[in-house]
């Protein structure tokens, strides 16, 4: 077993050769992201052809890092790796326990993170199949999620709406509201953490991301989360000069 782990370490560290960990803090974070079990998971995904190269981080957060990579066919991919050490397990348990799709009865931190990643994969799949523009999920294994890379042909990632210059923000708002309605009516999901930090802008079109906390509409907290999403949209687009009514947007989504 030790030899297999060593082989995985060697091969994955070759894949990660373009990643530069410069400071002491970066080295600490690097060891949290690429622990032994994560390296083994990445190695298995590499052997299956899902990952051929892993480059630098697209985004970093308290719970997960997203890296740009290539698959065996040379296509850009996004690889999201959750860190077991720093994840908010109480929050994860709250969102998982209210979801009838999951029956997670454990306090094991690693198992909770694995369930969370599976939840994000399934939410993305349901949203994508319903016609919502999200990164198309490829595969989820343990604490690693491989999905479509959102960016240009040169490999430049699409910026967050928070950091984008939008030519027609009202049009973008209308599209986002349309997506949230499809998510609610057809996919039977509520995003639950929608804001300008969880929307990418690609060619002036919005792409919804970070849907791990998304809940099914029958979840008791779905209404509260939908209200929060609408509040966030009203606030964020007001900063872009678009005056939007909470009641109007909510009624468009729910048809009430």
Q: How many helices, marked H, and strands, marked E, lie in the chain?
A: 8, 9
Nearest to 145 by CA among 83, 81, 102: 81
Coil, strand or helix at 203 = coil
Rounded to whole angstroms, what are the CA distances from 221 to 86, 121, 227?
Answer: 25, 20, 10
Which candidate in 210, 229, 231, 247 is catalytic?
210
Which candidate in 11, 178, 186, 193 is catalytic?
193
Helix locations, 48-191, DSSP H: 89-97, 109-130, 169-185
* Residue 161: DSSP 8-state: G
Q: How far apart are CA 241 and CA 243, in angstroms?
A: 6
210 carries an active-site annotation: yes
What six digits make up the tokens of 198? Answer: 């969880």
The residues, any chain, with a CB within 8 Å of residue 110's CB and separated by 6 or more, are 37, 84, 143
The residues, any chain, with a CB within 8 Å of residue 223's CB and separated by 6 or more, are none
- Residues with catalytic function: 193, 210
């Amino acid at each position: 077993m030790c030899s297999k782990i060593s082989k995985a370490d060697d091969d994955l560290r070759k894949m990660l050769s373009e990643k530069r960990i410069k400071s002491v803090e970066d080295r600490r974070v690097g060891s949290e992201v690429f622990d032994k079990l994560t390296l083994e998971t990445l190695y298995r995904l590499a052997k299956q052809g899902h990952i051929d190269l892993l480059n630098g981080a697209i985004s970093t957060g308290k719970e997960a890092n997203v890296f740009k990579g290539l698959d065996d066919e040379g296509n850009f991919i996004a690889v999201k790796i959750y860190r077991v050490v720093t994840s908010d397990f109480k929050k994860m348990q709250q969102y998982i326990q209210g979801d009838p799709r999951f029956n997670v009865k454990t306090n094991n931190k690693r198992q909770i993170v694995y369930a969370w990643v599976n939840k994000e994969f399934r939410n993305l799949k349901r949203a994508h199949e319903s016609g919502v523009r999200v990164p198309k999920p490829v595969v989820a294994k343990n604490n690693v999620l491989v999905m479509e890379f959102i960016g240009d042909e040169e490999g430049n990632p699409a910026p967050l709406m928070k950091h984008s210059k939008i030519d027609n923000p009202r049009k973008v708002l209308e599209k986002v509201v349309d997506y949230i309605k499809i998510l609610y009516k057809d996919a039977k999901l509520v995003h639950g953490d929608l804001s300008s930090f969880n929307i990418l802008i690609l060619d002036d079109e919005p792409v919804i991301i970070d849907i791990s906390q998304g809940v099914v509409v029958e979840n008791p907290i779905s209404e509260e989360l939908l209200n929060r999403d609408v509040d966030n949209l009203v606030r964020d687009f007001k900063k872009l000069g678009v005056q939007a009514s909470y009641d109007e947007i909510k009624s468009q989504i729910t048809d009430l």
